[in-house]
Each structure stands twice: as C-alpha cells, then as structure tokens.
Chains A and B, each alone.
Chain A
Amino acid sequence: MIVYLLLVLFAATFLVLIVKRDEIAIIAILFSFFSMCYMFMNPEIMVFGFGGWSPPFGIVWVLDKLNVFLALLVTGISSVIAVYSLKYIKERRHRYYTLLCLITIGLLGVSLTGDIFNLYVFFEILSVSSYALVAFFLNEHAIEGAFKYLMVGSMTSLFILIGIAMLYGLTGTLNFADLASKISHDPPYMVALGLLVAGFSLKATIVPFHAWKPDAIEGTPAPIGAIFTSVSTAIGVYGILRILFIFNLIQINWVLILFGAITMLLGALMALVQVNVKRMLAYSGVSQIGYVIMVIGFGTLLGITSGLYHILNNALIKTLLFMGIGIGIYLTGKENLNEMGMKNTPLLICVGIGLLSLSGIPPLNGFVSKWLIFMASWEISPMLTAIAIIASALTLAYSFKIFSAMFLANRKIEAKVPKILLIPVIILTALCVFIGVFPQAGLNMIEPAVNALLNQNQYITAVFGG
C-alpha cells in the first residue's frame, strides 16, 4: 500500500510537468490523504520493508499512531492547499504543483520512515523543495528569503548528518527500533542527541533557530506560508519527539521547557510589532510552536497530549489564516496591513474566527488546546502558566491588529472572492468551530498517538516481528 502511495506521488510530480495538467497533482495528494485516513483506522502498528531486506538491515517504514496522525495532518493540509492554489497561483502553475507534490513526499517520508538515514533523505527532499517554493515568485524578497533559508538550512542539515553518523558509529545501526534498544545515555550519545535536536529545531523554528522563517515566508506564496507554519513546523517537532523516543527520554526536560518558554514569548512580542501580515503570521507560528515545545518538555501525559493537540489546532488555524489573508493579498495585491482594508462578510467571519481561535477564545479549538496547556504547565510550575497566559494575551493583541487593519479600516475595497478560494477557508473554519464545540473528537485522534509515543517496547516488538 505504502509503495503505491509513494509511486503515485512521485509519478504525479513528473506527470504534471510532462502532461501539463495540474489536476494530476491534486488527485495524487487527495489519494494520499484518503490512504492515510484508511491507515489511521487500522489499530495495529504496520511495518513495510523495502527491497526484501528484513529490519534492521533494510529500510522499513513503520506506521504507528503517532506518525500516521502526523501524516494525516500533512496530507489533509496539502490537499486543502492544492485545491486553493488552483486559483491562487496564476503563473508557472505546473512547476508549483510539481514542487507541492515533492514537499508532500518529503513531509510524508520524514513522518513515516523507521530508518534514521532514510529520514535524512526525505528531510533533504523536503528542504530542497521548500527552498524552491520560497523562491517561486522570483522577486527580490523571494530570492533573498530562499537564499537565507538555504544557508541556514544547509548548516542544520549538516548537524543532523553528523548526529546520524555519530549514532551509526556508536551503535552500528540506523533502524529506529534497533537504535532504541542499543542506545545509552553516555556523553557521546548525548552530543549526537543535541546535534539532532538542534537540526530539527530549525524546521520547528525554535528560538534562536527561527530567524529565517519571517524572511522566507515574506517572499513565498501565501498557501506555502501555510505549509511552513503548520505542517513543516509540526514535522520539526515530530523529529525532536522521535529522537527523544529513540533515546527513551520522554520525561521532564528543562532544555525544551526553557527554549519553549523563550520561543513562546519572543515570537509573540515580535509578531506584535510587524506591519507585513505574512511576517506577523510567521512570528505567530514561532510563538505557537513555543507552547508545543514547552509542554512536550514536561514529559507528562497531559503535557504531551496538549502539545499534540496544539499541533493539530495550530495547523488548522494557521492554514485558515494564511489562506484567508492570502485572499486579501490576492485581491488587493498588498501585504502591508495599512493597505489591506477590504469588505467581504464571509471572509470577515472566517478570518475573525481564525484569529479568535488563535488567541484561545472559547468555544473555539484554540481554546481547548491552550486550556490543556495551562493545566499541564500548572502541574509543573504556576510561573510557566503565567508565561503562557501572557503570550496568549499578546496573541490576542496582534490578532486584533490584523482584524482591525483588514476589516475595520476606513479605506475598503468591495471584494468579490472566487468560490474556489473561499470554500477551503470555510471548511477549515468549520473544523475549528467543530473541534472547539466537540473537543473529544480531537482528543480521540490524539490519545492513540500519545500512547504510541509513550510505549517504546510496543514499537520495537512490532518492527522485529514480536
């Protein structure tokens, strides 16, 4: 099944360029989403070996509830973006869809593989397609942003490669399950862990690895900005979680708590003073991922549950906002908040709900995960809860700035929004409200993923065939 999924996506990547039909990419991405829905229903851990080699010698893809949850999120967001981009991207669309397929392959590969070097290969596919997508508009901002991302990204890729080489040198294996059974907590292993965590921190945009993001997102098409702030950062967090899982270090981790708290506050403060709407959302993405990193650092059941829940909510909200505000950019041709005043009631409602949800206002999905985050941090230290509440207040402040500039400004253009742009935004808004009203539905998705993360032995047993 997984081989066909990869084949379909790779074939679509090239077919779009050859046949020049963008619909092929959309169908392939939708196919991957429905495949992931099917796999999510399966209660067992699924192991797929490549090339007839059995683990730990051959490459395996291991589908446990954690990475299938991530893959479902990746393909779901990619599907919505693929449909939306059909209207949003006006020129060189075939190249755009080729790159969109490639970035989806990269994200899927990183999340589903059970081999650390294979993870690196897909991480590079993801990175290279990301650099190209940042430079897609080929204007001054786009090329500058792509170059910065390329330089910083190359350095952290090198850190990941050195970390993998160290682990291979120390244990003689690349398989996650095999690594987990051979790893110790001696200083050389910890140095490798530090290098890998630092490497994945760039994708997760943890301070001080975050600086590339606003520059890159400023130049990129709005739907790709949505990928960077939602699923790409989620994959960075997944990388850190998987490495901690291999090291059996899902426990209280003050390094993550410290970096998470700083990221949360600094991202929100920087978002507050931005004038370019895409830069503001980029910093907002940095701030939201700070919450996730902090609570994952707690290592508690509630901490990890709230972290994964916030990954889900942040992905939905950020995609909604990037696509909603992207419509504003599409219609006005401006990204400066002072020049984006527009009049459109459905868009006002959708973006308004997105911003309220981002700020954690009940009864929307952002509130649910933030409430869980506050509870989780209260268990560790009330001081951390206070920091999280301050960051949340700052989020409300910059959300108001966006809403005011877009919909309450004096100068407004009467805007008629194309339906194909509005429908994906409405779907995401409905999901935000639905999860807010029925939080148990989201929790039912998260709980198996948390259990998979906390049960290392089950994973090892599944890979080696019991």
Chain B
Amino acid sequence: MFEQWSLFALAFMGFIFLGFLIYMLGNRKSRKEEMKYETYTCGEPFPKVSIGVENFYHAVKRSLGIKDLRSHHSGRISDYLIWVVIGTVIVILLTVVWV
C-alpha cells in the first residue's frame, strides 16, 4: 500500500532540511542593520502586543454554538450520570433496532 510513500516522505523531509540549511546559511552571511525600524500605525509607534490564549478563536466560540456545548459540560456529577443513563438507553435501543 505504501510502496512509493517512504521515498516521497524522505524526499519531503530532505527538502525541509535543505530549506532550513539555506535559510541558516543565508542568515549568517547577511549584514545586520544597526538601526531597527519601528512599526508605525497612523503615525503612532505600534505597541508590542500578544493575544492571550483565552482570545484565540473568539469568533468560533460565539458562532458555532459552543457556548451551549460548554454550558452542558457543567461539571455536576448528576448531569454526567443522566448523560450516561440516556446514552445507554439510546445505545440499547439502536442496537436492538439497527443491528
């Protein structure tokens, strides 16, 4: 099934390594600028910002009904036990009907 794959994979990894090598060699030769240019936005220096992990995929959190999904994972044992009972009933019913 994978006769050609190993060759392709090795070549793929070889190219990545070659690219990395060229990048490293290129970096070594280049003369570094002494003055560093600051980034300006609308004439103001751009502050160094980083996005907190909580804000990653913020739009996804709101758009895909994940809020509801999260609210169902309440952490209450009674909820989990009800899920297990309902899940078992569904599995038994579907097994008897479908299988």
A binding-site residues for B, Cβ under 8 Å: 147-148, 151-152, 155-156, 159, 185, 187, 190-191, 193-195, 197-198, 201-202, 207-209, 211-212, 214-215, 249, 253-255, 258-259, 266, 269-270, 272-273, 275, 336-338, 362-363, 368, 397, 401, 404-405, 409-410, 436-440, 443
A466 to B41, CA, bound (A): 81
Q: Report which of A151, A187, A405 forms a contact with B81, defined as CB distance below 8 A.
A: A151
Cβ–Cβ < 8 Å partners of B43 in chain A? none
Distance of A152 Cα from B86 Cα, bound (Å) = 13
Residue of B53, B57, B70 ringed by the most chain A CB atoms within 10 A: B53
Q: List 25 A-B contacts (CB under 8 A).
A: A148-B80, A152-B77, A152-B80, A155-B81, A194-B91, A194-B92, A198-B91, A211-B80, A253-B98, A254-B94, A255-B99, A259-B91, A270-B69, A270-B70, A272-B61, A273-B61, A336-B53, A363-B9, A368-B5, A397-B57, A404-B56, A405-B53, A409-B50, A439-B1, A439-B5
8 Å CB interface, B76-90 against A: 77, 79-81, 83-88
The verdict on A156 contacting B53 (CB below 8 Å), with A253-B99, A363-B8 known, is: no
- Inter-chain contact B1/A198, CB cutoff 8 Å: no
Give B residues with C-beta under 8 Å from A: 1-2, 5-6, 8-10, 12-13, 48, 50, 52-54, 56-57, 60-61, 64, 66, 69-70, 73, 75, 77, 79-81, 83-88, 91-96, 98-99
A211 and B48 contact, CB distance less than 8 A = no
Bound Cα distance from A147 to B78, whole angstroms: 12
Given A147-B77, A190-B99, 9 more contacts at CB 8 Å? A148-B80, A152-B81, A152-B84, A185-B99, A202-B84, A215-B75, A255-B95, A275-B54, A363-B9
Q: Residues of B contacting A439 with CB < 8 Å?
A: 1-2, 5-6
Are A273 and B70 closer than 8 Å at their CB atoms?
yes
Q: Do B9 and A187 touch across chains, with their CB atoms under 8 A apart?
A: no
Residues on A with beta carbons closer than 8 Å to the beta carbon of B93: 194
Beta-carbon contact of B50 and A193 below 8 Å:
no
Chain B neighbourhood of A147, CB < 8 A:
77
Residues of A within 8 A of B69 (CB): 266, 269-270
CA of A405 to CA of B10 in the docked complex: distance in angstroms?
30
Q: Are B52 and A193 in contact (CB under 8 A)?
A: no
Q: Is the CB of A201 within 8 A of B83?
A: no
State whether A148 and B54 are in contact (beta carbons under 8 Å apart), knowing that A209-B83, A443-B2 are contacts in the complex.
no
Q: How far is the CB of B49 from chain A (nearest CB, A)?
A: 9
Cβ-defined contact, A337 with B53, below 8 A: yes
Q: Are A156 and B9 in contact (CB under 8 A)?
A: no
Report Cα–Cα, A273/B60, bound state, in Å: 9
Q: Which of B9, B73, B81, B95 contacts A436 (CB 8 A)?
A: B9
CB pair A273–B57 under 8 Å, yes or no, is yes
A212-B80, A438-B6, A440-B1 known; A401+B53 contact, CB < 8 A: yes
For the complex, what is the distance from the CA of A48 to the CA of B48, rounded to whole Å?
67
B61 CB, nearest partner CB in chain A, Å: 5
CB pair B84 A155 closer than 8 Å: yes
Q: Which 8 A-B pairs have the closest CB atoms?
A: A194-B92, A363-B9, A198-B88, A194-B95, A337-B53, A208-B83, A208-B87, A437-B9
Is A437's CB under 8 angstroms from B95's CB?
A: no
Contact of A275 among B53, B77, B83, B88 (CB under 8 A): B53
Residue of B at shortest CB range from A147? B77
Do A148 and B77 contact each other (CB < 8 Å), given the known contacts A194-B92, A249-B99, A338-B53?
Answer: yes
Question: Contact: A211 with B64, CB < 8 Å?
Answer: no
Residue of A nearest to B48 (CB): A410
**A212's closest neighbor in chain B, by CB?**
B80
* A269 near B2: Cβ-Cβ < 8 Å: no
With both chains docked as a complex, state the minimum distance between the C-beta of A334 and any C-beta of chain B, in angstroms.
12
User: What residues of A have a CB within 8 angstroms of the CB of B75 in the complex?
Assistant: 148, 215
Interchain nearest-CB distance for A180 vs B (Å): 16
Q: Which residues of A contact B83 (CB under 8 A)?
A: 208-209, 211
Let me know if A272 and B9 touch, CB within 8 A.
no
Does B86 contact A208, Cβ atoms closer than 8 Å?
yes
Q: How far is the CB of B1 from chain A (nearest CB, A)?
A: 7
Residues on the B chain within 8 Å of A266, using CB: 69
Q: How far is the CB of B4 from chain A (nearest CB, A)?
A: 11
* Cα of A195 to Cα of B91 in the assembled complex, Å: 8
Residues on A with C-beta less than 8 A from B96 are 187, 190-191, 194
Q: Which residues of the partner chain B approach A273 to less than 8 Å between Cβ atoms?
A: 57, 60-61, 66, 70
Expressed in whole angstroms, the minimum distance between the Cβ of B70 and any Cβ of chain A is 7
Contact check, B88 vs A194: say whether CB atoms are below 8 A apart: yes
